[in-house]
Structure formats: C-alpha cells, structure tokens
C-alpha cells in the first residue's frame, strides 16, 4: 500500500456529502478510480489527488457538464489547448440551455397572458374577429368525453418535447348540420400553435367573424356545453 495519506470510501463520501454508491458508480465509469483497492477485503482507498478530481467534478457538474463529458475532459487534461477546447464545449452547452430556458420562460409568460384573458371572458358568449391561421388536423371518431380526453393525451405525445408545447391549443371539428340537429360527435381533432406533426394535415381556418364561448370547466362537461352552444345559436338565430 502507498505511504501517502489515503481515505476510505466512507470518509470521501462524508467529506463531499455524497452516497458511497455514487463513488462506486464513478469508479465503474472510469471517471474517478481509487488509488488503491485492498484485494483481501475489497476496501477502496482514495488519495488527495482523487479528492481534487472529485472537487473538480462537482464544479463541472454545476456548470452543466454530464459525467461522461467530465470523464472525457479528465482523460484529455494533459495540454492547455485540450483543456480550453473542453471548457469551450461546456460554455456552448450552457449557452444552449440558457436559450432553451429563455424560450420556456417566454412560453410560460404567454400562457399566463392567455389565462388572464380567459379569466375576463369566461362563461359568456362573444362575437370576435379572428385572423386566418393554420392548424394541424387529424380525423377522429369522438363518441364520448372519455374519447375526447384520451385523444388529447395522444395528440400531445409527439409534441411534448417541444419547448413551446405549453402554448398549443386543442380543439375538435363537428359537422355543422349534425351538430345543430343534436349530435355532438367530433370528426376531426385540431392542434393550434405547433409545428407540423406526423400523422396530421395542415388546415387553414379562414379569417372571419366567429362565435366564441369560453368556459372554466373540465372535459367531463364538454358535451353539456355543446348543448348550451347549440341552444344559443338556435335561440338567437345566428347566421352560419
């Protein structure tokens, strides 16, 4: 065994406030390996050099580096140009994460603005002028509120990784004559505010005047509000 001061795995774990299992994981990946392992009992011993590397690893993780990236950095730590290159890569990664977080922040702020607007308009009818917009449409067969809810879940799966998915809106298309005759079965599903989605077709909703009914409720009441909307259209003889 070497004569320099060494530390048992428990001492290192306590020193850096990390589980011993984490140190074993670092050893397995080859990121930080003990300077000596007792073959008789399997005890790991770490030198002061390993404590320095572990301190550097913690700092690099806080900078956004992954364990694999840090392992590569440690393995190429020999020359100054190599160190500069690896740290530059970390900066690029952090810049990208800042950009993504900024986009996410803007999306959340837009969502808050939408919620404020909905709060002012909820539970009443309104005639609004809408600009032309392109939406993604997919044929569906909605026969119940359960169908409607599960279709929404399926729709969000391919776009859940997009930063701006929080601002997407969903809806359903119902055949006009069937709807006014008392049927509330949707024939198409709409996603607004998303980039093109596999399995969907682009559809243009024309610029025009639209009857808007904003409610504050959940999916289970959708068909009830279809009845309210239908009654309002027929009662007020709204042209369509």
pLDDT at 27: 92
pLDDT at 234: 87
Which segments in the chain show pLDDT lower than 70?
1-3, 76-79, 114, 117-123, 155-156, 158-167, 194, 216-219, 240
- Residue entry with tokens 């900024």: 102
Which of 88, 121, 154 is a domain's end point? 121
* Domains of the chain: total: 3
pLDDT at 87: 76
Residue 166 DSSP label: G
Q: Is 240 contained in some domain?
A: no
Q: Is 159 contained in some domain?
A: yes
Give me the phi and psi of 230, to 5 degrees please. -60, -45
Which of 121, 147, 180 is a domain's end point? 121
Q: Is 1 contained in some domain?
A: no
pLDDT at 20: 93
Question: Within this chain, do residues 217 and 183 fall inside the same structural domain, yes or no?
Answer: yes
Q: At what angle do helices 9-16 and 20-29 cross, to 10 degrees?
A: 110
User: DSSP 3-state assignment of 47?
Assistant: strand
pLDDT at 25: 92
Question: Within this chain, do residues 129 and 214 fall inside the same structural domain, yes or no?
Answer: yes
pLDDT at 91: 83
Find all residues with CB under 8 Å of 31, minimum gap 6, and list them. 57, 67, 70, 71, 74
Question: Within this chain, do residues 133 and 167 fall inside the same structural domain, yes or no?
Answer: yes
pLDDT at 118: 62
Do residues 136 and 196 lie in contact, with contact meaning Cβ atoms separated by under 8 Å?
Answer: yes
User: DSSP 3-state assignment of 234?
Assistant: helix
pLDDT at 24: 93
The boundaries of the domain holding residue 90 are: 78-121
Q: Is 52 contained in some domain?
A: yes
């Amino acid at each position: 065994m070497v004569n320099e001061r060494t530390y048992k795995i428990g001492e290192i774990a306590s020193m850096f406030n990390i589980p011993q299992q984490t140190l074993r994981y670092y050893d397995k990946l080859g990121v930080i390996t003990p300077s000596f392992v007792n073959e008789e009992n399997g005890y790991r011993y770490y030198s002061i050099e390993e404590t320095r590397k572990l301190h550097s690893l913690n700092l690099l993780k806080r900078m956004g580096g992954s364990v694999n990236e840090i392992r590569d950095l440690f393995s190429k730590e020999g020359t100054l140009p190599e160190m500069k290159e690896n740290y530059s890569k970390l900066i690029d990664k952090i810049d990208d994460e800042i950009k993504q977080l900024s986009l996410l922040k803007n999306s959340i702020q837009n969502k808050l603005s939408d919620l404020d607007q909905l709060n002012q308009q909820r539970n009443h009818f309104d005639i609004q002028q809408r600009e032309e917009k392109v939406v993604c449409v997919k044929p569906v067969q909605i026969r119940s509120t359960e169908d409607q809810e599960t279709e929404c879940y399926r729709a969000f799966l391919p776009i859940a990784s997009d930063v701006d998915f929080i601002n997407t809106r969903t809806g359903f298309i119902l055949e006009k004559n069937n709807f006014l005759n008392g049927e509330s079965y949707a024939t198409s599903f709409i996603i607004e505010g998303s980039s093109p989605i596999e399995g969907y077709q682009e559809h243009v909703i024309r610029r025009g005047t639209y009857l808007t009914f904003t409610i504050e409720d959940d999916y289970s009441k959708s068909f009830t509000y279809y009845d309210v909307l239908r009654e309002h259209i027929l009662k007020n003889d709204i042209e369509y």
